[in-house]
A and B are shown apart, each in its own frame.
Chain A
Amino acid sequence: MSHTTTHAISPEFNLISDWISPNSRVLDLGCGDGKLLTHLMKSKQVSGYGMEIDAQKNIAAIQAGINVIHSNLDNHDLTHYFDADSFDFVIMTQALQVVKRPDELLDDMLAIGKQSIITFPNFGHWRMRAQLVLQGRMPETETLPYHWYDTPNIHLCTFNDFEDLCESKGIEVVERAVVNSEHRSTLGMRLLPNLLGEVALYKVQKKRA
């Protein structure tokens, strides 16, 4: 278990941690080896579960000492397993773009959680746009290092796309942070997030009627 404690916590996780209130109930979708949840348990005394589809990561998460449910986010497992408002936060880092129906998953997340925290890579970043416009090829970058044919990222979107989806679903953006691949934010990113931001962190909730 020492490797989880000595490992540096990524800046993205620190940003998420800042958005989480202490003693919350948290569900981490695509929890991987459980690093984020372990961090939140220590820093914010949260309780809850991780969900993970990959067998090796499933093992690693158990090793890390978290409660992990091996499951496929494409199967509507969330609403099967959890009642409405079961969690204060449903978190999903860097997984929105790999699921079959991000829009339906977003609905499910906000059905079982009061708020959701979602992070994803921005396909509207200028380097993506430049590769497509200038080279006429699907972009490959450090944040998205795959070829078009083998990428697990089947539903890439821009920040604007995501915010449009939220708007159409009556979902309110409570907080947003836009950072580069080193998870730092600059003035330019704050002014032109959809052009200059590489990774976005959103905290969203259903609009109150």
Chain B
Amino acid sequence: MIPTPTIPQILQVDKPLQMVSGATLPRYELIYETYGELNADASNAILICHALSGDHHVAGVDADGKPGWWDGYIGPGKPIDTDQFFVVCSNNLGGCRGSTGPTSINPDNGRIYGPDFPIVTCRDWVNSQNELRQHLGIEQWAALVGGSMGGMQVLQWAIDYPEKVRHAVVIAAAPKLSAQNIAFNEVARRAIMSDPEFHNGRFIEAGTTPKTGLALARMLGHLTYLSDDMMGNKFGRELREGKLQYNYEVEFQVESYLRYQGEKFATKQNFDANTYLLMTKALDYFDPAAEYEHDLSAALAKATAKFLVVSFTSDWRFSPQRSHEIVKALLDNDADVSYAEVTSEHGHDAFLLPNAHYEGVFRAYMARVAAELPQGDSK
């Protein structure tokens, strides 16, 4: 049976968005997809928050035949079972996949936003998604689920709208970026901004894209998603031509792989360079404890959701220790929290990949969320 292609929908919000930076977005659009059906009392809705380069197409197959980025975990009979849940995923504001962002037209002057798009933060994303929640007639999300940057967004939701979140699933995330995380982001931004094709962010009007810079940024980012062990096992010191060439061409397989990843991102996937800058800045700014004298426990004191926190042993971008900080802050508040530290060699990327322990925990926890739904909703 050929599955029906997923069709994205667009929510037009005419209410201005007051942003954390002080800027105001007079109106904006959010593109989103939904899967499964909302039950009678709208109690089975799950919002998925995407990672840095993700989008609203999280599950199913789109019109181009492309599977969603988390299709392995969302769908009928999968850990997030769309036979039981109504699953929603939107592209973050500032994105480049259909929600208002740097590639959109600025209504103030009719020009492409480009570098003029206001800096977005995690809280702005949550506030804009709250409009989507209201539009869909959902009083409270059964669960919010996100990995990496998406996990941070889930934390922000749980802090800012405690009464709207029943369960919060925070995967491969951190309560804030480390100096090293910020440093990697800064190198990525410098790579983009120093590309001659960047044109101070007005590259679309100049009829070009900073492909080289964006590809470099992606290569760097990609490195932080992989573990040393995994790269060692996958590539080792394997040579592309079988012997050393003593030149600056691609010699080692790992170089070839990274270049391919960078190219694919900058050209085939056509990711917007300004969006990349915005997303990395939003990550850098994320620090919910900052307004609570840097006390994460105090920041999470308002949260009433039940939590599942998951980390991966070889993830050095957001290591298990970073998840321990989240777990500890929740325990300080006597919150309901379960934690799993999944053994994986796949680094930060593991949150997107198959893994028996991860899937078992995820499935078991979502079954608990489903068990709270009114009778007759589950098949």
Contacts and interface: CB of A to CB of B under 8 A. Distances in A.
Interface of A: 1, 25, 47, 49, 55-56, 58-63, 65-71, 80-83
B254 to A, nearest CB: 30
B261 interface: no
Interface stretch (B43-51, B103-111, B221-229, B323-331): B323-331
Contact of B337 (A59, A69, A83): A69
15 contacts: A1-B371, A25-B334, A49-B337, A55-B340, A55-B360, A56-B357, A58-B340, A59-B360, A62-B338, A63-B364, A69-B338, A70-B341, A80-B324, A81-B327, A83-B332
Contacts of B338: 61-62, 66-69
Nearest to B328: A81
Nearest to B337: A67
Given A58-B361, A59-B357, A49 B368 contact: no
B357 A82 contact: no
Chain A: interface secondary structure?
Answer: mixed
User: Chain B binding site: helix, strand, loop or mixed by DSSP?
Assistant: helix
Contacts of A25: 334
A55 B340 CA distance: 8
B365 interface: yes
A53 to B, nearest CB: 9
A2 to B, nearest CB: 12
Given A59-B364, A70-B341, A82-B331, 16 more contacts: A55-B343, A55-B356, A55-B357, A56-B357, A56-B360, A58-B357, A60-B364, A62-B361, A62-B365, A66-B338, A68-B339, A69-B331, A70-B339, A80-B324, A81-B331, A83-B332
Q: Which 7 residue pairs of A and B lie closest in terms of their CB atoms, listed nearest first? A: A59-B360, A62-B364, A55-B357, A63-B364, A70-B340, A69-B339, A70-B341
Interface in B342-368: 342-343, 356-357, 360-361, 364-365, 367-368
Interface in B297-351: 308, 324, 327-328, 331-332, 334, 336-343
A80 B328 CA distance: 8
Given A1-B371, A62-B368, A63-B367, A49 B361 contact: no
A67 B336 CA distance: 6
A59 B328 contact: no
A49 B364 CA distance: 17
A80 B371 CA distance: 32
A81 B334 CA distance: 11
Contacts of B365: 62
Contacts of B367: 63
Contact of B327 (A59, A63, A69): A69
B339 A65 contact: no
A25 B339 CA distance: 19
Nearest to A54: B357
B339 A59 contact: no
A71 B334 CA distance: 18
Nearest to A66: B338
Nearest to B367: A63
B362 to A, nearest CB: 9
A25 B334 CA distance: 10
Contacts of B371: 1
Contacts of B361: 58-59, 62
Contacts of A60: 364
A83 B331 CA distance: 9
Nearest to B340: A70
B341 A71 contact: yes
Contacts of A68: 338-339
B344 to A, nearest CB: 11
Interface string B270-313: 00000000000000000000000000000000000000100000
A67 B305 CA distance: 13
Nearest to B306: A67
A61 to B, nearest CB: 8
Contacts of B340: 55, 58, 62, 70
B127 to A, nearest CB: 30
Contacts of A71: 339, 341
A203 B331 CA distance: 25
A63 B365 CA distance: 7
Given A58-B357, A59-B360, A70-B340, A65 B368 contact: yes
Nearest to A63: B364
A27 B328 CA distance: 14
Contacts of B331: 49, 69, 81-82
